[in-house]
Chain A
C-alpha cells in the first residue's frame, strides 16, 4: 500500500477523539465555535513529539482543548450557554409519553448544568462528553483522583436535586 494520508498519527487521533472533543467544546463555547477549537487543538498536536504525547494523549487533547475553549469563551461577549434554548431538535416522531418525559428530564439536567460551580461542571463535561477516566480528569483539572470522584458525586447529586425541584414546581403549578 502506498502511504495513505490517514496513516498519520494525528489523523488517527483525530478520528478517535474528534467526536468527544467536539461534544466537550460544544458544551463550553457552543456548537458554532466548537469546530474551531477542536481544529486548533489538533493543529497544535501536529507540532508535538509523538513519543512524548502519545502515552497520555487523551488527557493532553482535553487539556489543550479546554484551555483553547476557555480562551474563546473569555473573548466572547455573549456566552452561548449549554442550555441554549432548544438546541436539541425536537423529536419528529413523538413516542410514548415515557420517552417524552425522559427527553424533558434530559433537557432539565442539561439546563441545570449551568447552575453548577465551575469545577464541578468541568468535571461533569470531561466525564460525560469526553468519557475521560478519573485519572485523566485529574490530570486535566490539576487535582487528585479522589477529588474528581468527589466533584462528580456532588455535581450529580446537585443536578438530580435541581431536576426534582423543578418536577415539584411543575406539579404544584399544574394542580
Chain B
C-alpha cells in the first residue's frame, strides 16, 4: 500500500487506535519506507512531550482538604435516608445557655457568633484497624508491606521488632544528630514536671496559648524511627504532639473568622476525671480573593547559597512561579543580602512586566564582593515606598544556615519591629537544614517582623511558602485573638492544662503566661486539652447548679474590618456524651505524650490503650497523618526501654496548695 507521510492513520497507529489489520498495514509500510518510520518517531516524540509536559505542571492529587470534602460527600451519599439528628446550638449569652440547658443538649457544642445551627456531626463509621504500613528506612530487614501483598501479621511484627532492635544498637550516634531545639522568647526553659491541678476556688479563669508549634512531634518520631530509642522527656511536649495533627472540626460559618468548639468525656487515664478538648479553627484559605502584594525579597548572595541546587535555584524557580501569578497591581523587588551595593538588583517592578521580572530573577548571582550591610534597611525602604494599604506588604529574607546576622542586630531588630508595627512584615525563608542557631535567629526575626519563618527543603515547600503564602494567604483573618476559659467552681473542683509546661510556669498567672494576644490566619487550628476534677456530688448538696455546667470558652478577636467579635461556647457534662473522633484521637496523642514524659498524671494508662484509642479514631484522615501515628506507635512498642513506660503509676503529686490565697478557708479546706 502507499501511505503518505500526512496520513491521519499514522497518528492513530502511534496512539494505539487502529485495529489489528490496519496496524499490520502500517507496519508493512514502515518497512517499505524509511520516511514513514521517521514520521512515526517524530509523532511519538511529540506525543510523549505533550504527555510529559501536561503532567508536569499539574498537581498529582487533590489537596487534602478537598479530598476530605469528597470523602464526606460519599459517606453522606451512602447514609440511609433518615432525618439526621439535629444538634441544638446555643445563643452566645449565658442567659440563653442556661435556658437552653433545660432542654436535652448534646455535649460537643460548636458555636459561632450569632448563629444557632451548624453542620451536623458526622456519624463516623468505625473504620476498624487499618492495615498498618510502617515506613521503612533503607536498611530495613522487614519486607515493605504493600496494599496488594499479603504478609503474615506475625512475620511482619517479628521483622519490625528486629528492625527496631537493630536501630537501637546503632542508635546512639543517630540520636546525637537529632537536634535539641532551643526555645524562643515566648517560652521559658523546658520543664520536665507537669502543670499542676489548680483549684477553681483559687483561679477559675484560665487561658491557653494560641501560637501553637508542632516541632516536638517530628523530633519524637525521629527518635523512634531513626535512633530506635525513647526521646528524653524534656523533648516531649504534649501540646505540640496534639497540635501536630489536623482535626476535622467544622469550619466557621458565614462571616465568622473563627469557630470554637468544646467537648468533654471521661479522661482515658483517670476515670474519675474529665478530659476537655477546646478547639479553635479559622476559616479556610480562599484562593479567589487575594490582596494586592508589595513584596521585597532579600536574597543571600553567597557562593554556597548560589551553588546548592536546593537553595538559590529552588528559590528562583519558586520566584518565577510567583511572577506568573502577579498582575499590574503588584510590585516585586529583589535585593542581594550583603551585596556590594545597596542598589536593588531589581527595583520595585509592576507584576505585569514579566520579561523584566523573569530576567532579573534568572540573572541573580553572587557578586563575590564584600557586603555593605545595609540590605535590610534598603529592603524596608523599598517596601515603604510602595506600601499598599490593605495589601500584603512583606519583606522576605531568603538564606541558608551560613547566614550571619548583622553585627548590629539590636538595631536591625528595632527596625523590624518598627516596620512590623507600620504594617510591613518580615518573613524568613531558611533553605536547607535549619536545626542550628541560624534557624532560631531566622525564626526570632520573623516573630519580631510579624511574618512567618519557613524551612524550605523541597519544591513543594518553596511553592507553598513563596507563592501561596506570599500572595496573601497569610493575612490575618482574626487579630488580637484572646481566649478565656471560665470554669464553674460549682462543678469543677480543679483543672489542669495539659502540656504547655514551658509556657505556664506554676508561679505565673495563667492569663499572661505567654506573649499577649495573637493573630490567626486562614486555615489555622488550635487544640487545647484540660483535665478536670469534678466536684464530688455530695459536696454542694442542693446548692449545686441543676445542670452539670463545666466551663465557658470565650474567644474575642477583631475581624478583618476591625470589629470586635466574641464567641461563647458553654460546655455541660451530660450523662450521654456525643464526642467526635477528633476528641479521642487527641486524647490518644496526649496520652502517648504523658506516657513518654512518664507523667505523674498518666494514671493507669498503657501504650496498648493508646494504640486502641488511636486506631479506633482515625476518622477520615485525609493526609494519612493519623495512620502514620498508629504506625509510629507500633514501632514504639518494639523500642527497647519502652517497657518502663508500663511501670506502675506513680502517685500524683499533691495539688498546688500555695495557690490558695491566704485566708481563703474554703480553698485550703479542700
Question: Chain B contacts of A124 at CB under 8 A?
Answer: 50
When C-beta atoms are compared, the residue in chain A nearest to B49 turns out to be: A106
Decide: A86 and B321 in contact? CB cutoff 8 A.
Answer: yes
Say yes or no for A59: interface residue by CB 8 A criterion: no
Nearest chain B residue, comparing its CB with the CB of A47: B77
Contact A35 B8 (CB under 8 A): no
**How far is A41 from B89 in the complex, measured between Cα atoms in Å?**
33
- Residues 30-49 of A, flagged 1 when their CB comes within 8 A of B and 0 if not, give 01111110110011001100
Q: Does B314 contact A (CB under 8 A)?
A: yes
Chain B positions 57 through 84: 1 when the CB is less than 8 Å from some CB of chain A, otherwise 0? 1111111001101110111111000000
User: Which residues from 1 to 41 on chain A have a C-beta closer than 8 Å to any C-beta of chain B?
Assistant: 1-5, 8, 10-11, 14, 18-19, 22-23, 25-27, 31-36, 38-39
From residue A66, how far is it (CB to closest CB) to chain B in Å?
15
**Chain A residues, Cβ within 8 Å of B125:** 2-3, 5
Query: A3-B125, A4-B127, A149-B17 given as contacts; is B320 within 8 A of A102 (CB)?
Result: no
Set of chain A residues within 8 Å of B324, measured between Cβ atoms: 80, 84-87
Assembled-state Cα–Cα distance A85/B316 (Å): 13
Give every chain A residue within 8 A of B498 (Cβ-Cβ). none
Q: Which of B39-47, B419-427, B547-555 contacts A (4 or more CB under 8 A)?
A: B39-47
Does A110 belong to the interface (CB within 8 Å)? yes
Contact of A46 (CB < 8 Å), options: B53, B73, B287: B73
Distance of A47 Cα from B54 Cα, bound (Å): 30
Please measure, in the bound complex, the distance between the C-alpha atom of A13 and the C-alpha atom of B228, giving whole angstroms: 39
Judged by a CB distance under 8 angstroms, whether B309 is at the interface is yes
Query: With A86-B358, A156-B11 in contact, is A5–B459 under 8 Å at CB?
Result: no
With a cutoff of 8 Å between Cβ atoms, the chain A residues found around residue B323 in the complex are: 85
Q: Among B321, B327, B358, point to the contact of A78 (Cβ < 8 A).
A: B327
Q: Which of A11, A87, A150 contacts B8 (CB 8 A)?
A: A150
A149 lies within 8 A of B66 (CB)? no
B583 to chain A, nearest CB (A): 19
Select one of A10, A22, A109 contacting B50, CB under 8 A: A109
A31 & B59 in contact (Cβ 8 Å cutoff) = yes
Identify the closest chain B residue to A18 (Cβ): B61
Is B662 positioned at the interface, with any CB of A under 8 Å from its CB? no
Nearest Cβ on chain B to A44's Cβ, whole angstroms: 10
The answer to the question of B325 belonging to the interface, with a C-beta cut-off of 8 Å to chain A, is yes
What's the minimum C-beta distance from B451 to chain A, rounded to whole angstroms? 23
Contact A88 B56 (CB under 8 A): yes
Say yes or no: A19 contacts B61, CB within 8 Å.
yes
Does A156 contact B60, Cβ atoms closer than 8 Å? no
- Whether, in the assembled complex, B317 has its beta carbon less than 8 Å from a beta carbon of chain A, the answer is yes
Q: Which of A3, A4, A84, A105 contacts B57 (CB 8 A)?
A: A84
Q: In chain A, what residue has the closest Cβ to B463?
A: A89
Q: Is the CB of B54 within 8 A of A46?
A: no
The answer to whether B62 touches A85, judged by C-beta atoms less than 8 angstroms apart, is no
CB B400 to nearest CB in A, in angstroms, measures 15
Rounded to whole Å, the gap between the CB of A12 and the closest CB of chain B is 10
Say yes or no: B43 contacts A156, CB within 8 Å.
yes
Q: Is B52 a contact partner of A106 (Cβ separation < 8 A)?
A: yes
Query: Is A97 among interface residues, defined by CB-CB distance under 8 A?
Result: no
Establish whether residues A2 and B128, one from each chain, have CB atoms under 8 Å apart when the complex forms: yes
Dominant secondary structure of chain A at its interface with chain B:
helix
Q: Are B50 and A128 in contact (CB under 8 A)?
A: yes
| A129 CA / B50 CA spacing, docked (Å) | 8
Q: A22-B61, A39-B62, A160-B46 are in contact. Are A128 and B8 (CB under 8 A)?
A: no
CB atoms of B128 and A14 under 8 A apart? no
Question: Whole-angstrom distance between the alpha carbons of A3 and B366 in the complex?
Answer: 58
Q: When each residue 128-163 of chain A gets 1 if its CB lies under 8 Å from chain B and 0 otherwise, what string results?
A: 110101100000000000000110110011011000
Of the residues A10, A32, A127, contact of B70 by C-beta under 8 Å: A10
- Whether B566 is near chain A, meaning CB under 8 Å from some CB there, is no
Contact assessment for B15 and A35 in the assembled complex, using a CB-CB cutoff below 8 Å: no
- Chain A residues within 8 Å of B310, by CB: 92
Query: Mask for B109-137, Cβ within 8 A of A = 1, else 0?
Result: 00000000000000001111010000000
A128–B47 CB distance below 8 A: yes
Interface: B162 (CB within 8 A): no
Q: Is A90 positioned at the interface, with any CB of B under 8 Å from its CB? A: yes
Kindly list chain A residues whose C-beta atoms are within 8 Å of the C-beta of B309. Answer: 92-93
Cα separation A131 to B70 with both chains bound (whole Å)? 24
Which residues of B (303-338) have their CB < 8 Å from a CB of A? 309-310, 313-314, 316-317, 320-321, 323-325, 327
Residue of A nearest to B73 (CB): A46
Q: Is the CB of B54 within 8 A of A125?
A: yes
Binary contact track A70-82/B, C-beta < 8 Å → 1, others 0: 0000000010101
In the complex, the chain B residue whose C-beta lies closest to that of A77 is B327
Closest Cβ of chain A to B110, distance in Å, is 22
Please determine whether A88 and B73 come into contact, CB atoms closer than 8 angstroms: no
Complexed CA–CA distance, A76 and B63 (Å) = 22
Interface pair A159/B46, CB less than 8 Å apart: yes
A152 CA / B58 CA spacing, docked (Å): 22
Known: A92-B314, A152-B11, A159-B46. A34 touches B59 (CB 8 A): yes
Contact A22 B63 (CB under 8 A): no
Rounded to whole angstroms, the CA-CA distance of A98 and B327 in the bound complex is 35
Bound complex: CA of A56 vs CA of B188, how far in Å? 62
A136: shortest Cβ distance to chain B, in Å?
11
Give B54's nearest chain A residue, CB to CB. A129
- The answer for the CA separation of A80 and B50 in the assembled complex, in Å, is 18
Query: Which of A42, A46, A87, A105 makes the CB contact (< 8 A) with B49?
Result: A105
For chain A, residues 98 to 130, give those with C-beta under 8 angstroms from any C-beta of chain B.
Answer: 102, 105-107, 109-110, 124-125, 127-129
- Give the distance in Å from the alpha carbon of A89 to the alpha carbon of B57 in the complex: 8
Determine which of B70, B71, B127, B320 lies in contact with A2 in the assembled complex, contact meaning CB atoms within 8 Å: B127
Chain B residues whose C-beta falls within 8 Å of the C-beta of A23 in the assembled complex? 54-55, 58
Nearest A residue to B130, CB-CB: A4
Q: Could you give, for residues 124-153 of chain B, a 1 whenever the CB lies within 8 Å of some chain A CB and a 0 otherwise?
A: 011110100000000000000000000000
Provide the bound-state CA to CA distance between A102 and B9, in Å: 26
Residues on A with beta carbons closer than 8 Å to the beta carbon of B67: 14
Residue contact B58 to A26, C-beta cutoff 8 Å: yes
Question: A8 with B78: in contact, given A32-B287, A78-B327, A106-B49 (CB under 8 Å)?
Answer: yes
Which residues of A pack against B, CB within 8 Å? 1-5, 8, 10-11, 14, 18-19, 22-23, 25-27, 31-36, 38-39, 42-43, 46-47, 78, 80, 82, 84-90, 92-93, 102, 105-107, 109-110, 124-125, 127-129, 131, 133-134, 149-150, 152-153, 156-157, 159-160
Q: Could you write out 17 A-B pairs with CB less than 8 Å apart?
A: A2-B127, A5-B620, A8-B75, A23-B55, A27-B54, A39-B62, A42-B70, A46-B76, A80-B324, A87-B324, A90-B317, A92-B309, A106-B49, A129-B54, A149-B11, A150-B8, A160-B46
Excluding A26-B54, A156-B11, A159-B46, 20 further A-B contacts by CB distance (< 8 Å) are A4-B130, A5-B127, A23-B54, A23-B58, A25-B58, A32-B325, A34-B59, A35-B63, A46-B70, A78-B327, A85-B354, A86-B321, A86-B358, A89-B317, A89-B321, A90-B320, A92-B314, A106-B49, A149-B8, A153-B8
User: Closest 6 interchain pairs by CB?
Assistant: A153-B8, A26-B58, A2-B128, A92-B309, A128-B50, A23-B58
